[in-house]
Chains A and B, each alone.
Chain A
Amino acid sequence: MSGERETVLELRDLEVSFRLKGGGVFKAVKGVSFSIYKGETFGLVGESGSGKTSIGRAIVRINDASSGSILYKGREISGRIPKELDREVVRKIQMIFQDPMASLNERAKVDYIVSEGLYNIGVKRSEGERRAMVAKALLEVGLLPEFASRFPHEFSGGQRQRIGIARALIMEPELVVADEPISALDVSIRAQVLNLLSAIQKAKGLTYLFIAHDLSVVRFITDRIAVINKGEIVELAETEELFRNPLHPYTRALISAIPQPDPLVERKKVVMVYDPKCHDCSTDKPAWTDVGGGHFVLANEKEADAYRARIASGP
């Protein structure tokens, strides 16, 4: 099935490193590869510090890729690229940031915040056109056009996240990197923002890379999920398959730890702990393996055989 689908974004062996103050280098993202298909919501899940944001920032080119490639519709977009392509990508790939409280410029009015991206792409527009675009983007995220003249601190968390979404939408993107868009929001507004993201996706045929640490939210909204641990993807599968047959011990530990809003389940549950030492690397090294039907897992041959057997015997 994946063969026929259009790939919007492909990462090949992506590595992101940071130079440390002491002089060393820290590899935050190690050899990450995956493809995102047009119209899907691809989830990237892992714990704090696992490298999720670093990947997102590399895709929108805030961070440099230290090696590997990032392909947008088959064309390399990391490193030095032609001006034309650069202009296209600046528009077509947008990011929604993790913390709506910190990510908006406090001293700018909503009007400027939402249209900032337009100034950067250098297309000449009349003031009237620009204002009309801001008004439209605000309406699309359920805010009133008159909010344009206000400052971010006058808004609630949910409204601020809507402003963040509006500033991405105004660029008419094709791919949106949503970095934990609801983690910082209150319970009562999470559902609103999730619904909004889904509705926009349906209306505009957008593709999402949805970054989160909360697997319960990711399960609800994504088509496929990649699980990342310490900069490495350990498992990737269609969402329901991943929950039906979690294979990698890290994925299993992560899933077992999510609290379910169901006391009968919670009281009997056993949380699994991931011990990296459980992998026996003496015989062969782990490799990125398809154990069937597009369910990928980082495993050596012995482990892969065991995983295949587990899938065959049913959950």
Chain B
Amino acid sequence: MANGPAILEAKGLVIKFNLRGRTLTAIRGAGLELYEGETLAIVGESGSGKSVLTKSLIGMLDRNGWVDSGSAMFEGRDLARIKEERDWLGVRGKKISMVFQDPMTALNPLLTIGAQIREVFELHHGLSGKKADHAVVEMLERVGIDNPEERRRQYPHEFSGGMRQRVVIAIAVACKPRILICDEPTTALDVTIQAQILGLIKALQRDLAFTTVYITHDLGVVANVADRVAVMYAGRIVETGLAEEVFYDSRHPYTWALLSSLPQLGVKGRPLYSISGTPPNLFNEVRGDAFAPRNPKALKVDFVAEPPEFEVSPTHRASTWLLDPRAPRIEPPPAILAMRAKLGGAKLGGAKLGAVGGAL
């Protein structure tokens, strides 16, 4: 996946907001590459900056926010330097489109489903009349809506939550984007519907050959969709790697904490690992490793100096002093060791792991 040049490359992005006269730094130097055709998942707790980071790539930051420094190169342009709304029009909804958690906010309750999809075809493909109608019906069919001919005349409130999300996806991919960003696309849906929507996005990605970015806090969803994973904490990407590398061989203490707190990895009758404390106040300057105050095994250096990014493999990087050659050896928590062991087993005789439901 990570072969070839990146189609989008963000470096050192710093994004700030002005809030009642004070400045909050939501993104504190985040970098990100996207490779053609891959699926990248961004995970992290609430407030870590997942939405802000990706919204900055389509010029959708709230008015009180701005990209303070850094770059985001895409098709020879630096998205971080776009200032005028009209310059975004060639990018947003055309080259890069976005699907949000709540389909209701993305749809206009006063327009029929058909009219809303049609707009995209008229705007981006110059279709009109019967041709546009035909494209709408075909699109609805493609996202799995039965009776598209009748359905396109209905309004959003006549659709269930899962069907609405299908429509939102139809609108997002109708422009044939190069990049589709999905911000918690299935959080509001049941697991069975979620599985369908994830399957739908994968199928569309295969047919239309776009690159997908998933934002989610559900590590199960990440495992399902991601080729690569980026873990965010307090406005920085603290670890990034192939899905296998991040799940079975994670290196950053925050990734360890996140994985260890999953009930799936817990032992019944014993307390789950839980992360104490709160993330740093982004109004203040953060010193050292932002996770250090919540990391029971933090090193002294974590409190004073910001860790650089260390390379674990050509595809795997983490910003933690634990990877410095001078660092003492610190054992990851038991749940992480168990995950590591799993990968070992899979490499040796993996068939067993694949048994459907068997591992549930």
Contact = CB atoms under 8 A, between A and B. Distances in A.
A binds B: yes
Contacts of B199: 271
Contact of B223 (A188, A191, A256, A263): A263
Contacts of B275: 188, 191-192
Contacts of B192: 47, 253-254, 257, 271, 273-274
Contact of A187 (B45, B191, B339): B45
A241 interface: no
B333 interface: no
A261 B264 CA distance: 8
A293 to B, nearest CB: 19
A243 interface: yes
21 contacts: A48-B189, A187-B219, A188-B46, A188-B257, A191-B275, A192-B274, A216-B263, A217-B263, A253-B192, A254-B192, A255-B360, A259-B194, A259-B224, A261-B220, A262-B247, A262-B359, A263-B223, A263-B226, A264-B343, A266-B223, A273-B192
Interface stretch (A67-75, A193-201, A276-284): A193-201
Interface in A114-169: 156-157
B334 interface: no
A92 interface: no
A101 B185 CA distance: 21
Interface of B: 45-46, 161, 189-192, 194-195, 198-199, 217-224, 226, 243-244, 247, 257-259, 261-266, 268, 271-275, 278, 339, 342-343, 346, 350, 353-354, 356-360
Given A214-B191, A257-B192, A188 B261 contact: yes
Contacts of A315: 358
Contact of A264 (B258, B354, B358): B354
Contacts of B247: 261-263
B220 to A, nearest CB: 3
A187 B353 contact: no
Nearest to B294: A188
A199 to B, nearest CB: 7
A254 to B, nearest CB: 7
Contact of B342 (A214, A219, A262, A267): A262
A269 interface: yes
A38 interface: no
Contact of B190 (A47, A217, A219, A255): A47
Contacts of B271: 195, 198-199
A263 B244 contact: yes
A156 B278 CA distance: 10
Given A216-B220, A261-B247, A271-B195, A255 B272 contact: no
A190 interface: yes
A258 B360 contact: yes
A102 interface: no
Contact of A260 (B198, B226, B266, B359): B359
Interface residues of A, number: 48
A188 B263 contact: no
- Main SS at interface, chain A: helix
Nearest to B217: A187
Nearest to A315: B358
Given A194-B272, A265-B353, A268-B356, A257 B191 contact: yes
B265 A261 contact: yes
B220 A266 contact: yes
A220 interface: yes
Closest 3 CB pairs of A and B: A259-B220, A220-B263, A191-B274
Nearest to A186: B46
Interface in A170-188: 186-188
Contacts of A311: none
Given A191-B275, A264-B354, A257 B360 contact: no
A224 interface: no
A192 B273 CA distance: 8
A189 B357 CA distance: 27
A264 B350 contact: yes
A71 to B, nearest CB: 29
Nearest to B277: A188
A221 interface: yes
Contact of A255 (B268, B350, B354, B357): B357
A220 B266 contact: yes
A269 B360 CA distance: 11
Contacts of A261: 219-220, 222-223, 247, 259, 262, 264-265
Contacts of A246: 357
A252 interface: yes
Instruction: Select the residue from B258, B266, B350 with max chain A CB neighbours within 10 A.
Output: B266
A1 interface: no
A194 B342 CA distance: 26
Given A216-B220, A259-B220, A191 B258 contact: no
A28 B108 CA distance: 30
A260 B359 CA distance: 9
Contacts of A91: none
A248 interface: no
B45 A265 contact: no
